[in-house]
Structure 1
């Protein structure tokens, strides 16, 4: 599995010049997506709806609204 491309604007394009806040979205060679965000599993686990869960190998991450909105144009419909 490899990163194929960035989805949306780079952190620098979104105003991060220090590298301190760099949420990001990437498309992978298998068609899945990877995200860089702030780890929030324990903070949000209790907020999940009854039909959602987090496996031991999964984490809930927060990605800024701006990151997702600017990635929207690059996310394929299919």
Structure 2
């Protein structure tokens, strides 16, 4: 089973969240994958996917704010 080993970027409170709750976040997992907390927009964007993109029934399309990803950029491994 994978475990969260670290957050990528700054905590939500450092990005302006007053409570730190219910904010987008990105985490690196012990098996090398990444977990993302974001807003589920599957219904909204599925029809917009390019012809060569698809998702499995168990997958969801999520969005995170630009700020969340920019704050995580320095922590994303290059390889």
TM-score tier by shorter-chain length is over 0.9
- The 4+ residue runs of structure 1 with deviation greater than 2 A are 18-21
Query: TM-score normalised to the size of structure 2?
Result: 0.94
Distance 1:49 1:70, change over 3 A: same
* Matched residues, number: 78
Q: Between Structure 1 and Structure 2, which shows a larger proportion of helix residues?
A: 2
CA deviation digits over 1:18-75, x for unaligned, max 9? Answer: 3454100000000000000000001000000000011101000010000001100000
Unpaired segments ≥5 residues, structure 1:
none
Structure 2 spans left out of the alignment, 5+ residues? none
Q: How do 1:1-78 residues align onto structure 2 when only pairs under 5 Å count?
A: 1-19=2-20, 21-78=22-79
CA RMSD of aligned residues (A): 1.0
User: SS at the partner of 2:13?
Assistant: coil
